[in-house]
Structure 1
């Protein structure tokens, strides 16, 4: 079973809200627990370069999960992810974030 790499792109106009999200993602590997244990392998967020190719996205989050089942748990049951979503509610513009995920190459 391969690891899952997930990228989530947000359009958050306020710099202070972007910094809040970056700080929250930086603690996600210890805050997010499943069966009483941390389960996210890696989580980080940063600002993309201010470039027309960014299409208005102001924050990119990268999260690595041990499996697709763990990512599904994150989406449906994880209390830390629910806190993150509550923190960002009303701060993200132009619809929901863009989320893509893929098998993570063994070499990454």
Structure 2
């Protein structure tokens, strides 16, 4: 079965917030649990290179899930993801851009 690879792009104007967000994502795959067990296969996030082609998006989070159901849980019920949302809410330039795809791994 294909895994779900999700990329979330942010416009974060505050450099200190960039570092704080990267730190939160670095522990997400251990802290996020579903039914008492970690369920995120990979969670990574990094600032982008400064380039006009980025259209102002300067931070990318990459998460890999076992299934679309796990990604839906992440969006709607995950407390660890809620903490990241709380950290970034009202501090980013516009809504994040989210894309996801099936990936054989």
SS of residue matched to 2:5: strand
Q: Which residue of 2 aligns with 1:33?
A: 33
2:18, 2:103 → 1: CA distance? Answer: 26
- Note the C-alpha offset of 1:90: 1.5
CA deviation map 1:64-106 (0-9, x unaligned): 001000000000000001111001112111x210000000133
- Comparing both structures, which one devotes a greater share of its residues to strand? 2
Q: Which residue of 2 aligns with 1:80?
A: 80
Q: TM-score, normalised on structure 2?
A: 0.97
Runs of 4+ displaced beyond 4 Å: none
2:47, 2:104 → 1: CA distance? Answer: 24
Q: Which residue of 2 aligns with 1:103?
A: 102
Pairwise CA RMSD of aligned residues? Answer: 0.7
1:66, 1:59 → 2: CA distance? Answer: 24
Q: TM-score, normalised on structure 1?
A: 0.95
SS of residue matched to 1:41: strand
